[in-house]
Amino acid sequence: MHLLLAAPTAFTLEALKQVRNPHDFKWYAIPLLAIAVYIYSVELERGRFDIVAAGLAVLFADAFNEMVNALVLHFAHTAALWTETGPTAYQFTVGLNLDSVFLFAIGGIAFAKLLPPDRAQRILGMPNRFALALGLSLVSVGVEELLRAAGVFHWHYWWWNALSFPVIVVFGYLWFYMYAAYVFDAPPRRRAIALGGLGAVNVAMILVFGVVLGWLP
């Protein structure tokens, strides 16, 4: 039973019409896939498994957040924390389209390539991993503001909105990049455990909440 009885917002209904609708597929998804595959293959060729792992870490972290976001809509019924609308190559959930997937897949690689080899180096007086993660998180929330102004990205709740942007910075992005930095710096065994652990959690959530229960709109 839904915790709230309010009707879904108009943008929620718009997004729901697109969720996993094969008729919305756009062919530009194929070159985007080719670009992402090329970027990862270059790093694999160079033997930079740390960079590849960091890229996957951001992608896995976003997948986890997106499922939590979909569950918020399922239980609240009114809206998710964030909702994406407008033309897209494919809409996975109300808050995630295929275009965004490629953004996160490549964004994690870019973040890893920005990390200084010296972990002790400081940026603006802060540990460089944290400084870069915070900077990219602020940029990411800024992009969300631009998308919101364009009418294709939506917030609904007062505690997850423009006036509460520190919450979005921390829980929407900062932990992505800090997790990616940890994976990047970790020795191979610990890296595999950290990445595989979140990957396993994501698969379990998809199977339980998506396939079995159908709670991931």
Degrees to nearest 5, angle at CA 13 with 7 and 17: 150
Amino acid 6: pLDDT: 75
Domain-embedded: residue 54:
yes
Tens digits of residue pLDDT in 190-217: 999 999 999 999 999 999 999 999 999 9
Amino acid 86: pLDDT: 92
Domain-embedded: residue 119:
yes
Predicted TM-score of the model (pTM): 0.91
Give how many domains the chain has, as a whole number. 1
Amino acid 5: pLDDT: 58
Domain-embedded: residue 15:
yes
- Taking the C-alpha atoms of residue 115 and residue 122, their distance in angstroms, rounded to an integer, is 11
Provide the domain limits for residue 66.
Answer: 10-212
Domain-embedded: residue 96:
yes
Q: Can you list the residues of the chain whose pLDDT is less than 50?
A: 1-4
Joined together, the tokens standing for residue 111 give 């973040």
Domain-embedded: residue 86:
yes
